[in-house]
Amino acid sequence: MRIDPNLVPTILADLQQSQVSLNTALQEVSTGKSVNVPSDNPAAAADMVQNTIETGDVDQYTQNVSSVLSTVQSASSVLSSVVSSLTQAVSLGTEGANGTNSADNLQAIAAQVQGILSSVVSDANTSVAGSYLFGGTGTSTPFVADSASSTGYTYNGTSDSNVVAVGDNLSVQVNVPGSQVFSDPTSNVLGSLSSLVTALKSGTSADIATATSAVDSALNFVGQQQSVYGNAEKQLNSQQTSLQQDTVTLSTQENNLIGVNEATAAAELSQDETDNNAALAAVAKVLPNSLLNYLQPPT
Amino acid sequence: MTRMGGLNTSLSIGLQALDTAQGALTATSNNIANVNTPGYTREVAQISENGENQTGDEVTGGGVTLDGLQSIRDELLNIQIQQQTSLQSSVDTKSSSLQQVQTFFTSSGDDIASGITALSSSLAQLSASSSSTAAQQSVLSSGQSLADAFNTTAQGLTTAQLDADQQVPQTVTQINSLTQHIAQLNTQLGQVPAAEDGGTTQDQLDQLVQQLSGLTGISITQGTDGETITTGNGTPLVIGGQSFNLQTTTGTNGFQQVLDSNGNNITSSIEGGTLGGAIDIRDQVIPGFQSQLNTLATQFATAFNAAQAKGYDSNGNTGSNLFSVPSNTNDAAAGISVAITDPSQVAISSDGSAGSNGNVANLSAALTNTLPSGKTPAGAYASLVFQVGNATSNASTESTAIGQNLTQLTTQQGAVSAVDISEETTNLLRYQAAFEAATRIVSTIQVLNNAALNMGSGTSY
């Protein structure tokens, strides 16, 4: 059977094919990606859409965790300071209630408790980066002195609290409203301190003892509120770990989807180079061949 | 007594041999000359023995005749090659258009996935710092990026569609020019007796028909007056010596429609070739992507605006639409834009108070909740990326497969029709020897004739 004497088209097709493989291998090695356009691997390119979005979210959640963590830690340390103030107030109240104090002593104690009250109010009005830690979702100074109020202070914040997203389905409460921490109807921190000041100034020992016990109960209550922050802190720390794992998982997934194994890619590149060289060498050998090469020119 | 054929018979046989060898040399030299001519099929000298001369009981050979030069071709292979060429150029047209389209769906930082990522991150950031104007501004900016990405992608699809549309009248012009030329060649071939080979005219015709098959799918029948060529669905292009021009006109959808010579719209029935590929891309493939992209833009904007409306902006007003989409869904992706310019209009608050960030969760949820299409915005976009990538990858795979098939067929055709230099060189030597030998016959007979004429003169030897 006669064969096609014209090898050029076939050889050129082979050459082109080998050039295409070589280019693909080069691109994979130079970009470090096996999927540069969707047609390289449509399913992987589609999966990468979700991966990109999640990676962006996880980055932002990680930042949110740090920022919330710092807020929670500030609030927690403020509450610690309130607890120690209240502890001090309780011991001052106990001292004032023991019936051995002179009127001057009591006035002096009252002045100290008044100082503690001011410091607690200042704690309750702490702001971090422009927002009040205990103002609920409000934007004005939470506690303002108000002589008309039974507790001596009016709460201007809200009873709501904001939540911050730290995961796809996880939000943490960043603040406990001041109304809950400092002016709870049964364990009113500011009210009990005000009452203690009043009792110290003008009350009987029994009044002082009652007022002291109210401060003590407020102290316990604040301690409980502090645990809310403690729990939030724990939750945030564990979320931080989980987000770090997510980052690793997403990056591994990305690598599996569109990354290249460098060793394999380098081996493929070298293989394709060899193939290309072989194809070129074949063209050089085949093209000039015909019977003419072996015939003597006519003399 | 019997008499053998005379010297003149031998002389005449010698002359026939000379003619034949010369004719065969012509075929060989023409083959060598056209070794690289596209569409050339090798010619072979058709040599046959003449009838015997019978004189009385004597039978002598009648010499040789050159019947003609026959081009060696396989019409069946030609038809297969034409069909594969139609398929290939159709797929290649689609492939190159899809390559262009898929760059808009490639992760680039400006694509829709990056837009969704930016918006999603900026909302997460807003949840942590809702009172920050910078965080609010970042939501608007990333919303703008997403809208821009929708616009750019829609624009990319439209550009590819318009490019395909432009190919239609260009290709039709080429088709008309080819069919006119083919009709002329058909007329010329009609003058060649049926028994004879069409030779170079047939080569040219085959070459043109193959070019035509690259432009559109065709069907060929051999008739009494030459080849009849129709489109795949039977619209006549060439009947014998007459060609029928296709026409184009702008259709109601603004795209070029193809009409047959009677003015009937045959656009939707055209398949194969550059024309079929361009029409398929323009009328089927790209509109499929566009419709999904527009649905996504509309449904996403609606969902996000609904989330805005659930909350209050920093001024205490009910959240207004953040995205605006054209009411005509067909323009949704191309026309989606951010409707508000003031960052304070992002509906952060759930209760109207300035410090609340309760509605941010609703805004974020608009990105992750399922749309009426049954997919999340990211899911719907990912599905589109898959379809575009898959269509591009399939077109490219198909093109490679057809290419291999075509190479195979071309090799078979080459085995039948291509000029082999070694073979021609061999023939050259054979016919050279035959020609030289024939000249010897003539010169020998001349010497013998002289000898016969001078018999008895006594002077010749």
Q: What is the mean pLDDT of residues B325-346?
A: 93
C-alpha distances (whole Å) from A281 to each of A11, A41, B27, B303 are 11, 33, 34, 62
Residues of chain B contacting residue A290, judged by C-beta atoms under 8 Å apart: 421-422, 425
Contacts 24+ apart (CB under 8 A), B366-371: B366/B300, B366/B303, B366/B304, B366/B306, B366/B307, B367/B116, B367/B119, B367/B120, B367/B123, B367/B304, B368/A168, B369/B303, B371/B296, B371/B299, B371/B300, B371/B303
Closest Cα in chain A, distance from residue B150 (Å)? 15
pLDDT tops 70 at residue B458: no
What pLDDT, in 10s, does the model give residues B224-276? 777 889 998 889 999 988 999 999 999 998 999 999 989 999 999 999 999 99
* Cα separation, A158 vs A178, whole angstroms: 8
Q: What is the DSSP string of B228-274?
A: EEEETT--EEEETTEE---EEEE-TTSSEEEE-TTS-B-GGG--SHH
Q: What is the mean pLDDT of residues B118-145?
A: 92
A299 touches chain B (CB under 8 A): no
Query: In this complex, which of B113, B353, B421 lies closest to A53 when CB atoms are compared?
Result: B113
Residues of chain A contacting residue B414, judged by C-beta atoms under 8 Å apart: 4-6, 9
* Cα separation, B401 vs B408, whole angstroms: 11
The dihedral through the CA atoms of B339, B345, B348, B350 has a sign that is: negative
Q: What is the mean pLDDT of residues B305-334?
A: 93
Closest Cα in chain B, distance from residue A60 (Å)? 6
A43 touches chain B (CB under 8 A): yes
Task: Report domain extents, chain B.
Answer: 7-72+419-453, 79-407
Mutate to test the interface with A, among B349, B375, B422, B436 (most CBs of A within 10 A): B422
Given an 8 Å threshold on Cβ–Cβ distance, is A165 in contact with B421?
no
* Cα separation, B140 vs B431, whole angstroms: 87
Residue of chain B whose Cα is closest to the Cα of A37: B106
Q: Which of B122, B114, B145 is nearest to B363 (CA)?
A: B122
Query: In this complex, which of B120, B124, B353 lies closest to A137 when CB atoms are compared?
Result: B353
CA-derived radius of gyration, chain A: 39
Residue type, A18: S
Task: Tell me the two tokens of residue A236.
Answer: 């945030």
Residue B127 · residue A164 · CB < 8 Å: yes
| pTM for this entry | 0.86
Task: Tell me the two tokens of residue A281.
Answer: 């060498």
Given an 8 Å threshold on Cβ–Cβ distance, is A292 in contact with B379?
no
* Cα separation, B138 vs B118, whole angstroms: 9
Determine the pLDDT at residue B460.
46
Instruction: At A204, give phi and psi (nearest 5°).
Output: -85, 170
Q: What is the mean pLDDT of residues A136-165?
A: 84
pLDDT band at B461 (very low <50, low <70, confident <90, very high): very low
Given an 8 Å threshold on Cβ–Cβ distance, is A1 in contact with B415?
yes
Closest Cα in chain B, distance from residue A128 (Å)? 11
* Cα separation, A5 vs A292, whole angstroms: 14
Determine the pLDDT at residue B2.
44
Q: What is the mean pLDDT of residues A117-130?
A: 88
Instruction: At A137, give phi and psi (nearest 5°).
Output: -95, 5
Q: What is the mean pLDDT of residues B319-346?
A: 93
Q: Which of A200, A219, A205 is nearest to A108 (CA)?
A: A200
* Cα separation, A251 vs A230, whole angstroms: 32
Query: In this complex, which of A4, A63, A165 lies closest to B414 when CB atoms are compared?
Result: A4
Residues of chain A contacting residue B403, judged by C-beta atoms under 8 Å apart: 13
Query: In this complex, which of A6, A63, A168 lies closest to B414 when CB atoms are compared?
Result: A6
Determine the pLDDT at residue B5.
58
pLDDT tops 70 at residue A42: yes
Q: Which of A116, A124, A115 is nearest to A144 (CA)?
A: A124
C-alpha distances (whole Å) from B334 to each of B140, B147, B380 are 19, 9, 17
What residues have CB less than 8 Å from B55, skipping those under 6 apart?
Answer: B2, B3, B5
Given an 8 Å threshold on Cβ–Cβ distance, is A10 in contact with B361?
no
Look at the block and give the residue holding tokens 């109304």.
A179
pLDDT tops 70 at residue A225: yes
User: Of chain A residues 53-112, which have a CB less than 8 A from chain B?
Assistant: 53, 55-57, 59-61, 63-64, 67-68
* Cα separation, A218 vs B217, whole angstroms: 90
CATH topology of domain A50-254: f41 fragment of flagellin, N-terminal domain (1.20.1330)
pLDDT band at A299 (very low <50, low <70, confident <90, very high): low
* Cα separation, A199 vs A203, whole angstroms: 4
Q: What is the mean pLDDT of residues B44-71?
A: 85
Closest Cα in chain A, distance from residue B386 (Å)? 5
* Cα separation, B204 vs B182, whole angstroms: 9
Query: In this complex, which of B121, B418, B421 lies closest to A56 when CB atoms are compared?
Result: B121
Closest Cα in chain B, distance from residue A168 (Å)? 9
B344 touches chain A (CB under 8 A): no
What residues have CB less than 8 Å from B109, skipping those under 6 apart?
Answer: none
What pLDDT, in 10s, does the model give residues B175-230? 999 999 999 998 888 777 665 677 788 889 999 999 999 999 999 888 777 788 99
Given an 8 Å threshold on Cβ–Cβ distance, is A48 in contact with B107?
yes
Query: In this complex, which of B106, B129, B361 lies closest to A37 when CB atoms are compared?
Result: B106
Closest Cα in chain A, distance from residue B351 (Å)? 10
Mutate to test the interface with A, among B44, B105, B399, B405 (most CBs of A within 10 A): B105
CA-derived radius of gyration, chain B: 38
* Cα separation, B384 vs B291, whole angstroms: 10
Alpha helices in B369-420 (DSSP H): 377-417
Determine the pLDDT at residue B1.
41
Given an 8 Å threshold on Cβ–Cβ distance, is B385 in contact with A38?
yes
Burial category of B52 from C-beta neighbours within 10 Å (exposed 0-12, middle 13-18, buried 19 and up): exposed
* Cα separation, A74 vs B233, whole angstroms: 79
* Cα separation, A239 vs A237, whole angstroms: 5
Q: What is the mean pLDDT of residues A245-268?
A: 91
Query: In this complex, which of A5, A10, A168 lies closest to B419 when CB atoms are compared?
Result: A5
Report the range of poorest mean pLDDT among B170-174, B301-305, B360-364. B360-364
Mutate to test the interface with B, among A41, A72, A162 (most CBs of B within 10 A): A162
Residues of chain B contacting residue A39, judged by C-beta atoms under 8 Å apart: 98-99, 102, 389-390, 392-393, 396
Residues of chain B contacting residue A295, judged by C-beta atoms under 8 Å apart: 425
User: Of chain B residues 237-266, which have a CB less than 8 A from chain A?
Assistant: none
Counting residues of chain A whose pLDDT is more than 70, the rounded percentage is 99
Task: Tell me the two tokens of residue B62.
Answer: 């009648």
Q: Which of A220, A162, A230 is nearest to A188 (CA)?
A: A220
What residues have CB less than 8 Å from B130, skipping those under 6 apart?
Answer: A162, B136, B348, B355, B356, B357, B360
Across the A:B interface, residue pairs with CB atoms under 8 Å apart total 182
Look at the block and give the residue holding tokens 């971090």.
A128
Query: In this complex, which of A67, A68, A290 lies closest to B421 when CB atoms are compared?
Result: A290
pLDDT tops 90 at residue B351: no
Average pLDDT in chain B: 90
